[in-house]
Amino acid sequence: SAPLQKPALETVRSSLRLLNASAYRLQSECRKTVPPEPGAAVDYQLLTQQVIQCAYDIAKAAKQLVTITTREKKQ
């Protein structure tokens, strides 16, 4: 297949950065569901919001990647 054009390549890089950062953050947020010590308070409502935001960002990055690769295949 032909190499990606420069604007497309930058979009792919940007999407991959977002995907990587969001996946790392999701992992970090999920670890917080296990209290550091027994009986420690965990704000599950806040954690749930954070996890939802991470999942949204992962989906957004994935959609950007699918969009750009689909567009490139058509050209």
Confidence of residue 59 (pLDDT cuts 50, 70, 90): very high
Q: Where are the domains of the chain?
A: 7-70
pLDDT in tens, 10-56: 889 999 999 999 999 999 999 988 888 888 888 999 999 999 999 99
Q: Which amino acid appears at position 59 of this protein?
A: A
pLDDT of residue 61 exceeding 80:
yes
Given this model, what pLDDT does residue 1 score?
54
Q: What is the CATH number of domain 7-70?
A: 1.20.120.330
Name every residue whose Cβ is closer than 8 Å to that of residue 51 and which is 6 or more positions away in sequence: 26, 29, 30
Q: What is the pTM of this model?
A: 0.79
